[in-house]
Each structure stands twice: as C-alpha cells, then as structure tokens.
Amino acid sequence: MTTTTATGETTTKNLALAIDIGGTKAEAALVDSNGQVVPGSRFRRPTGAGSTSDELAAAVRSVLTDALATRAAGTDLLGVGVGSAGPITVARGLVSPLNLAVWRDFPLRQLVVDSVPDVPVTMRMDGECITLAEHWVGAAVGYDNVMGMIVSTGIGGGLILEGSAIAGPTGNAGHIGHVEVGGFDDPCLCGGIGCVEAIASGPKTVAWANRQGWTGARGEDLAAAYAAGDPIAISAVERSGRAIGQAIASAAALDDLDIVAIGGGFSRVTPDLFRFIRAAIAKRVAFGFVTKVKVVPSALSDAGPLIGSAALIHRAEMIA
C-alpha cells in the first residue's frame, strides 16, 4: 500500500519483518519498502556463547514478537526476512553459526514460520543480506556485480552477480573469508591454509601484532596505536590490508566484480586500510578487469544487516 502525504511525499505502508542472527545478538525490526527501519520497532537480545539452544530460540522469538507488536494499524506485513551467520543449509532452513556452537543444523526458518505463520519467510546467510543492503541503499547502488564484505571478528560476505543475489545451492556463496591468499600460510579453523579470515580479521591482526611485541589487546587499541604511529601497528594493518586486497583480487578474477563494499568494526581501524587493500589489487597489472574493481567503505548504518534481511522480502525479485 502506498500513500501520498499532504506535501506530496510518497511513503509506504508495506513492511517486512527483518531478523538478524549473529554470534553476539539476535535483532528484529520492521523495515519499510524504502529500506528504512520503522522508528521504535527495533529490538535486540544477546546470544551469548553460554546460551542453550532453547535460550537462543527464546531470544529470537522475543525480538520478533516485540518488533511485530509495534506494527501500526493500516500497514501490511509482506513477509519475514531472516539473515543468519553461516554456514547455513538454505533448502532446509537450517543454521550452524560458527560462533553459536549449540546450534548445529538448527531449524531457524521453521521457528520463524511457527511464530509468524501467515506470510512468506525467506532465510539467507547474513553476508548475502549485507550485500543486498549495500545494493539497495548503501555503497553499491546502481552496480550489478557486487561483493559485500564484513571485516570484524571474522571475515564474511555475499555476492550479487549480473544483478541477482547468488545464494548458491546450500546458501553459502560469499564466504570470502575462506578464500586463500598467496604468500601466507596462516592455518585456518576451517582446515584451509592462508584463508584471509585467518590473517586479517580484527583478532588475527591483533594476534600478529602481539607476536611482533605489541602489547595491546583489542582492535580499538590497534587503531589508536596506528593513529599514534606505532611501527608494529602500522605493519600489522598494512599486512592485513594487503591480504584482504589479494583475496579481493582473486574474487575479482573469478567473478569479475564491479565493486566491493566493506563494513564491520575492523574495517574502520584506519581509513588507510583501504589504501593498503587497493595497493594489493593494483599489483594485478596485466588484468584491467581485476584492477577495475572499486573498493569502498560500507555506506550502511548499524541497521545494515536488518535492512538486508528486509531486502529478502522487499527486493524478492533479486533472489533466485
């Protein structure tokens, strides 16, 4: 339903319920068809590592119920979009978030269907949702070949290729964090060698700096040390930026990307991180189709994951 205000501005009463499940929190909100979170509709509950499966499920039910309860009369609920940390099994609606060990093949989609029975429910990996959000209202508006990327405690992402969101047969396409990087041999928890997540996530960058003698503990400390000109901090950030750039170059060689939008806490360690990333990509001198890829900071607010979950409903035409 679309209404026009007295001033001629077009607003929408078509809402999606957006749910985002991560390693530290479950969130829900109502999101309109312009990609705006409805004020007052956003709710959050922690999903601590000590939670039981039932406690996690209760947290999800709580936030979605609270968000739905704010829905105004005269609005339409089009559906529910659910983004989850991966891996997932999209066809069966199961999630196994690496950082929520008590959920392995947990039927998250069915939990949501049971809670909101009368509308479509679409579930995808959080990296795909973030990418849809960048494409909808973020840094990748107008591009058909996009990788969204989060650099935080882990490194994840998602893909839009030739204008369509690529989930993959299991829903796990976009795992850029587990693309290997030449010249690095850091062991990865997935079993790989030199995966970019094992090199360049916030905690892994801090750990590398610690091994060189730097004594800080967190990404925020590293950001401060970098800003103060600490040589180990500078080396650590340069090393991680180089690894991220090399991983993006491989992804661009394989998928011929237009643009990569990078968010996540550690992506803001210093604006120079993007300079290091771009310098690594620029080494692929023989391949203009690789060096053409734009690498830009995310243009999403911290509601980006929710907006992306809502895109599963509002922009359903982009979902295979």
Site for a copy of itself, rule CB under 8 A: 87, 98, 144-145, 159, 161-162, 164, 166-186, 189-195, 246-247, 249-251, 253-258, 283-290, 292, 320
Sign of CA dihedral 170, 171, 173, 178: negative
Smallest distance, a copy of itself to C-beta of residue 259, A: 10
> Cα angle vertex 17, ends 16, 20, to 5°?
125
Smallest distance, a copy of itself to C-beta of residue 125, A: 10
Cβ closer to a copy of itself: 32 or 186?
Answer: 186
Cβ closer to a copy of itself: 6 or 286?
Answer: 286
- List phi, psi (to 5°) of 230: -60, 125
Cβ closer to a copy of itself: 101 or 207?
Answer: 101
Sign of CA dihedral 38, 318, 141, 241: positive
Smallest distance, a copy of itself to C-beta of residue 175, A: 4
* 3-class DSSP string for 145-178: CEEEEEECCCEEEEEEECCEEECCCCCCCCCHHH
SS3 category, 187: strand
Cβ closer to a copy of itself: 173 or 262?
Answer: 173
Burial class (CB in 10 A: 0-12, 13-18, 19+), 129: buried
Strands 164-166 and 155-161: what pairing? antiparallel
- Please name which of 211, 98, 73, 208 lies closest in space to residue 155, comparing C-alpha atoms: 98
Smallest distance, a copy of itself to C-beta of residue 304, A: 21
Cβ closer to a copy of itself: 38 or 319?
Answer: 319
SS3 category, 256: coil
Smallest distance, a copy of itself to C-beta of residue 123, A: 15
Cβ closer to a copy of itself: 48 or 182?
Answer: 182
Amino acid found at 220: E
Smallest distance, a copy of itself to C-beta of residue 196, A: 9
CA distance linking residue 66 with residue 44, whole number of Å: 9
Sign of CA dihedral 35, 163, 83, 85: negative
Cβ closer to a copy of itself: 109 or 178?
Answer: 178
Smallest distance, a copy of itself to C-beta of residue 317, A: 14
Cβ closer to a copy of itself: 35 or 127?
Answer: 127
**Which residues face 151 on adjacent strands?**
155
Smallest distance, a copy of itself to C-beta of residue 295, A: 16
Question: Do 145 and 259 contact (CB within 8 A), yes or no?
Answer: yes
